[in-house]
Amino acid sequence: SDEADWELSDFVIDEDGGETEKLPVVAIVGRPNVGKSTLVNRIIGRREAVVEDVPGVTRDRVSYPALWNGRRFMVTDTGGWEPDAKGLQQSISEQAELAMRTADLIVLVVDATVGATTTDEAVARALRRSKTPVLLAANKVDSERVEADAATLWSLGLGEPHMISASHGRGTADLLDLILEELPETPRERFVAGGPRRIALLGKPNVGKSSLLNRLAGEERSVVDDVAGTTVDPVDEIIELDGRLWQFVDTAGLRRKVRTATGHEYYASLRTRSALDSSELALLLIDASQTITEQDLRVLSMIIDSGRALVVVFNKWDLVDEDRRYDLDKEIDRELARVPWARRINISAETGRSVQKLVPVMEQALASWDKRVPTGRLNSWLKDIVAANPPPARGGRAPRVMFATQAATRPPTFVLFTTGFLEAGYRRFVERKLREEFDFTGSPVRVNVRVRE
Ligand code: GDP
Ligand code: GDP
């Protein structure tokens, strides 16, 4: 058979969606009850509520694919939680900050029947400084009677208030046209080539993230609970370690301790996602002195889904005695079996023990994440592997593996061209063999299959 038929640019995304397409992101922000979810539903073309408005409930899905006039993009609904009245303004400001960091376009939704509230004004103030394009949607303009009210929203300083009725669909097509006009063709570049490597310091509360950050930065940073809307902190921290710069992303939350300590679960997961989005490697901190919990594993799952490189850091090792160590080994066997490729290191942020071991391990993981195997070398290796262990037949004939290529790095993603379906077990076998041969320690490896029709 002739391999020439295969167009390498011709990959299909296989059933486990190994290659995620990069689409531009539209973030919908605004106070509770202004109609954000209704607008999101309208944009993605769904009638029923996509979100349950249960206060305090963690919502996993926040981004939805959308299609308008033949263009695809993602819509992110950043609302959905109900902070207490006192914290409302703060939460909304955080929400806007997050959108400015991660979205390609922001739609601020305001309730035209209510007019601009002080919270709306605070958000507008933050958004006016944004480099990301912002559109102002004046919602609940169900009829002409409300149009005069909507006009007062010019005062927010975000340009024309675009009048819509999310629930009736009035004006939403025009808004979508505008969104597409303003939306950049390609999503924002989240990595600067040659810049510092970007690290997300993650873990549930109290595992020692800010202690480690302080230890690495070599100074005690004061914890300031600043007033919302008055300052915009630099959200990333750049630290020199072993003669090289490292960018710890989204550390503002670690510094603003008070705010995250009361941490809303939903908000914490949004923040984790955002940090992962802009990072290349995740440092997952786990408190070694305590039993590994669901909350630790939830963060781990988010890291796995993100495709980022990973180092697992067991902190508070100074508190670990013989007994605890025995239990921990069992917990690791049970809970971390999903990431046998991730290196684990035991440190104490408090005493400084083994903290200097972090950098070489992070460098190794990032090198794996960036690694590219030349196609020639990959295929001569593959031929031997497949000859020695052909894929099992299922039903009729056994599928043949014709050819492979590494379609992407960060993380390494391989595509096998076959004459038939390859079972997950066989793909895992190929992944294991790839790891043995080419060493991808610290990085996920994806193996996708392209079946020739
Ligand atoms: P969110 O909290 O910002 O996501 O707001 P929702 O989408 O949950 O909407 C809050 C309430 O406003 C719901 O009762 C909606 O039915 C209502 N609503 C949303 N859009 C409109 C609209 O265009 N006109 C009117 N009259 N009500 C709306
Ligand atoms: P974060 O919420 O993940 O940022 O955790 P913190 O850095 O605020 O730490 C939570 C608590 O654990 C604080 O009381 C720290 O002093 C303590 N802590 C952090 N690292 C260590 C460690 O290595 N050993 C011990 N014994 N305590 C630690």
ipTM of this complex prediction, to 2 decimal places? 0.60
Tell me what the pLDDT averaged over the chain comes to.
81
Per the CB < 8 A criterion, the answer to whether 107 and 179 are in contact is: yes
Predicted confidence (pLDDT) at residue 77 exceeds the cutoff of 90: no
pLDDT at 255: 59
Ligand 1 pocket test target in 38, 47, 140, 145 with most atoms within 8 Å of CB: 38
Interhelix angle 36-44/172-182, rounded to 10 degrees, is 80
* CA of residue 285 to ligand 1 center, whole Å: 40
Residue 390 φ/ψ region, left for φ over 0, alpha for ψ in the -120 to 50 degree band, beta for the rest: beta
Given pLDDT bands bounded at 50, 70 and 90, which one contains residue 2? very low
Q: Hey, what amino acid is at 278?
A: S
Atom nearest to 207 CA in ligand 2: 3
Pocket of ligand 2 (CB under 6 A): 203, 205-211, 254, 315-316, 318-319, 348-350
Atom nearest to 254 CA in ligand 2: 4
Q: Which residue has the tokens 């490189």?
A: 309
pLDDT at 80: 45
Given pLDDT bands bounded at 50, 70 and 90, which one contains residue 392? confident
Mean of pLDDT values over 280-304: 96
Ligand 2 pocket test target in 204, 206, 215 with most atoms within 8 Å of CB: 206
Query: Of 52-61, 142-151, 220-229, which one has max mean pLDDT?
Result: 142-151
Mean of pLDDT values over 348-365: 95
pLDDT at 232: 35
- For residue 442, the number of C-alpha atoms closer than 13 Å in the C-beta half-sphere is 25
pLDDT at 87: 65
Mean of pLDDT values over 424-437: 95
pLDDT at 390: 92
> Can you spell out the DSSP letters for 134-194?
EEEEEE---SGGGHHHHHGGGGGSSSPEEE-BTTTTBTHHHHHHHHHHHS-SSPPP---TT
Dig out the tokens for 47 from the structure: 């009638």
Q: What percent of the chain has pLDDT over 90?
A: 49
According to DSSP, residue 418 is labeled E
Predicted confidence (pLDDT) at residue 52 exceeds the cutoff of 90: no
Predicted confidence (pLDDT) at residue 60 exceeds the cutoff of 60: no
Is pTM, for the whole model, over 0.80? no
d(CA 221, CA 227): 18
Predicted confidence (pLDDT) at residue 193 exceeds the cutoff of 60: no
Given pLDDT bands bounded at 50, 70 and 90, which one contains residue 322? very high
pLDDT at 251: 76
Predicted confidence (pLDDT) at residue 347 exceeds the cutoff of 80: yes
Least confident segment among 119-133, 192-206, 285-299, 409-423:
192-206
pLDDT digits (tens, 9 = 90+) for 199-245: 999 999 899 998 999 888 875 443 333 333 333 345 677 788 887 77
Residue 316 marked ligand-binding: yes
Residue 352 marked ligand-binding: no
* CA of residue 212 to ligand 2 center, whole Å: 8
* CA of residue 284 to ligand 2 center, whole Å: 14
d(CA 315, CA 324): 13
pLDDT at 432: 96
Tell which wins on pLDDT, 77 or 9. 77
Predicted confidence (pLDDT) at residue 62 exceeds the cutoff of 90: no
pLDDT at 48: 41
pLDDT digits (tens, 9 = 90+) for 237-272: 778 888 777 888 877 666 554 444 445 566 677 778
CA end-to-end distance (rounded Å), the chain = 13
Q: What percent of the chain has pLDDT over 70?
A: 78
* CA of residue 206 to ligand 2 center, whole Å: 6
Given pLDDT bands bounded at 50, 70 and 90, which one contains residue 389? very high
Mean of pLDDT values over 304-332: 97
Q: Tell me the C-alpha to C-alpha distance, in Å, between residue 194 and each of 191, 276, 307, 427, 440.
A: 9, 19, 20, 33, 21
